[in-house]
Amino acid sequence: MTPTLIQILSRELRETLLNSRLSHISQSAPETVELSFYHPDRPNRVLTLALLPLKPILFVSLEKHPALAKPPNFCRSLRKHLEYALLTAIEAEPGERMMHFVLKTGEGSFRLVFEGIPKYPNVILVGGDNLIISALRYKNDVERPVMPQASYKAPPQPLEKPNLWQLNGRQFQDLWEKTEKPALGPWLKNDFRGTDTELTSYLENFGDQVFSQWDLVKREILEQGWKKYILFPGPPPSLKIFPMKVSPEKESLSFTSGSQALEKFFQAESRYRGLLTERTRLESEVARAIKHEKRILEKLKKDRAEAEKSDQYQWWGELLMAQLHKVKLHLSEIILEDVVRGTPQPIAIPLDPEITPLHNAQRFFKKAQKGSRGLAQVEKREREILERMNQLKSAQRSLPALQEEAEIKKAYQDLFPKKKEQEAKPKKAKEEKVPTPNILRTKLSKQFELCAGTSAAANEYVTFQLAQPEDLWFHVRDLPGSHVILRKLQRDIAVPEDILMQAAKVAAVHSKAQPGSKVTVSYTEKKNVKKIPGGPMGLVTMTKEKSLFVEV
């Protein structure tokens, strides 16, 4: 904000906001405060105070922007102290870059100070006792602390210089003549407060008539209201407030209200800063990608050097195999006569002392084979990397020319296309867990256990899931009955005769044989029992059958 704009806006804001009540406080960005004002006889208006880097700005508009999801500390402090406050005064010292908003509540009077100094902008809430309550930016400087409970002091000014806005045309001329009529531009810039580059350039054009022109400009700004604003959307955007020749080829917008012009400038500047952010991000990504490709290229050079040694590895391997009888164990190097290619000088071959000479030769052959295959792959990969680096460097040179957000997005997509997401593999349907059939289990000793099925499903489970190939399988011959397994809990153990009879007895009891009758029980190792293809559950065939005769 320039001193000229502060004077123009302070007059406009007095006309639109004075005696309005503060109805809502929010922040649409970390350093942008929006104050909504209500007056029964005027439209609701929103005062925006934005601390853009090097371009602090304030204006009044009819639109409110969406607030941050979580109000920052400064916003909460304003809500605490200024809720429904009445705006009673708007003060701006001519020639300064600050504006004071005086607000009155039931708890007393408060000041909201906007400091539009480009390098150190701030918005500060000050209490009636002149103590700082809160600030958008805290600063713990010794000469001027901006901290809670510190006394508020205005930013230091070069008071030894005269304030241009406190001089009329006659006083202005007297000072000029007193200093021997220096060049107006440098003189205004260096010897006065309250000037800015645009105002200085404008007054400089009038030569000796500058003093009467200053009276006209000052009167129009402070008393009548300035009505001439030209916005150049850019990029970068710029706002001019003094008459100037506008090139018909250059896009521009004219306004008669300072707030309207500043609102459009704020929107254009926000878009431009977003554009710079996106372009900077893209430039950073391109620079990072170039570094990444350079690292890959360095690794490929090492791979190429290793691959190019394949012929040497083959030679070393052949030498070792031809003179293997000369190579002792645990050598780290061996010097051999070249019986393979016939070179006059002996050949020094590095060895791995941890492995045998034969294994060293085999290792060289493997490296030779891998190198011969890898060289073509390395060369292909090098070509791809060089093409990618040329693409990135070409893009890096053209990035400053990108002036539209759509161009930047397209460049980003072209340089870093999104990888297609692999289709998720269909999840295998979970197999339903079949409950374990009910079986009869009896532990006979540490070496043996008897297991008998109680149904067709149980017989299937006992025979084909529970039993091991060397376990013994029992079943009554020619009658339905249980499958009985004699499990060997210790492998390769001989089964005593009494254990065999006990297992056969269990098979006989759990069959359709009549009590008191005598039956034949067949048995064999489980590995000799097979299912009958297509047969009902529990129906099997067996080979290498033996039999026992038992009473039920």
Tell me which amino acid residue 353 is. P
Give strand pairing partners of 58: 49
Query: pLDDT tens across 5-62, in order?
Result: 999 999 999 999 999 999 999 999 999 999 999 999 999 999 999 999 889 999 999 9
3 state DSSP class of 266:
helix
Q: Could you tell me which residues come within 8 angstroms of residue 315 by beta carbon, excluding any fewer than 6 positions away?
A: 340, 341, 347
pLDDT at position 78, please?
96
Give the model's confidence band at 402: pLDDT under 50 very low, under 70 low, under 90 confident, else very high: confident
Residue 125: name the closest of 111, 115, 106, 108 by CA. Answer: 111
Going from the N-terminus, what domains does the chain have, and what CATH number goes with each? 3-146 (2.30.310.10), 304-415 (no CATH), 439-551 (no CATH)
Residue 53: name the closest of 71, 31, 73 by CA. Answer: 31
Query: pLDDT tens across 237-291, in order?
Result: 999 998 777 666 678 899 999 999 999 999 999 999 988 889 899 999 999 999 9
Averaged over 284-301, what is the pLDDT? 91
Burial of 155 (0-12, 13-18, 19+ CB in 10 A): middle
Helices 169-178 and 210-219: angle between axes, nearest 10 degrees: 150
Query: Do 98 and 113 contact (CB within 8 A), yes or no?
Result: yes
pLDDT at position 61, please?
93
Averaged over 417-429, what is the pLDDT? 71
Is pLDDT at 215 greater than 70 in this prediction?
A: yes
pLDDT at position 421, please?
65
